[in-house]
Every structure is written in structure tokens, then in C-alpha cells.
Amino acid sequence: MWNKRGKILVTYVTKWGSTCEVAETIGKILREKGFDVDVFPVKGVVDVTHYSAVVIGSGIRVGKLYSEVVHFVKKNKEQLKKIPVAYFIDSFKAAMPDAKSQAEAEGYLGPLRKLVAPVDAGIFAGKVDPRKIPISSRLVLKVQKIKEGDYRRWSAIERWAAELPKKLRK
């Protein structure tokens, strides 16, 4: 159950930095709402027992969540089931307007939803910055016709984060 004096953890897995930027923004919005918030990469989180709620994010690579985020939820499953949890992803697919791409982006969260049901999930478009992406991955993006750019809609991310407190109280 929600503890008003408790902390919220925003944790994430990122390879090229986009998901970290989204997580930092979510943490900033929650702090502005008066909450005590830690923002850490998944690999830096040792224990979730002292958090009242957890927000977990992942980038998407080759159509899947990063394995580290799935492992984190599996490892902490019993504790996470006792507190409110929200998920978010940032993915190029979420930037595509067609229903098939939108459904595919939503489907990326399936493995996490099977482990721990969230109170909410944010599906956000990502960022493609070739300066941060290894050449082998750039070639894959080129074959998939994914163009460079920042597709994130910050207003949607900020709105989702601002609405989280009432959902995390459930």
C-alpha cells in the first residue's frame, strides 16, 4: 500500500541514453509533485523493499525489452507485487502512426505484465542518435529504414509522469 512518506524508485535500462533521459524527466516531474524520488539504472538497484512504488523503464532493441529489465522484475517479483508498479518504454515503433506499429509497441511490455501487473504503462517514441549507436546497429536501422531523429513527445511523457501519483496510490 502507498506510504505517503515513502520513496518512489524510477529505474531503467538504456543502451544509448534515451531511456535514461525519459527516466530523469519522470523523476523530475514526480519531485515537482512533492515526492521523494530515486532515479537509478537497474544495475544500480540492490533492494526495492524500502520503496513505496516503482517505475520501471526499458528501451527496445530488436523488438524486445532489454533482458536486464526482465531479470530485474523476476528477481524482485514478490516485493513488486506488494507495491504499485508502473512501466514505460521508449521505442521507435511507438513513433509510427499505424495501428500495427502501435500494437507492436504495446506488446513489448508483455513479458513484464506477465510477471507483475502494472497500475499503468507509458509507451513513448524513442530517439535515434547515430553518434551514440555502434556501426553494426546503425546498419540494422538503415535496413529497417529508421531515420535519425528524436521522436519523443516530451509533453506526453511529462503528462504521463504528472498523472502517475494518483495511479501509484491504488
In order of start, what are the domains of the chain with their CATH numbers? 7-168 (3.40.50.360)
Segment 5-40, tens digit of pLDDT:
579 999 999 987 889 999 999 999 999 999 999 999
**SS3 of 122, please?**
strand
pTM: 0.86
Contacts of 161 (CB under 8 A, 6+ apart): 25, 26, 29, 30
Segment 118-132, tens digit of pLDDT:
999 999 987 766 666
Segment 51-70, tens digit of pLDDT:
999 999 998 887 889 999 99
Q: 114 pLDDT band (50/70/90 cuts)?
A: very high
Place of cell 527516466: 23
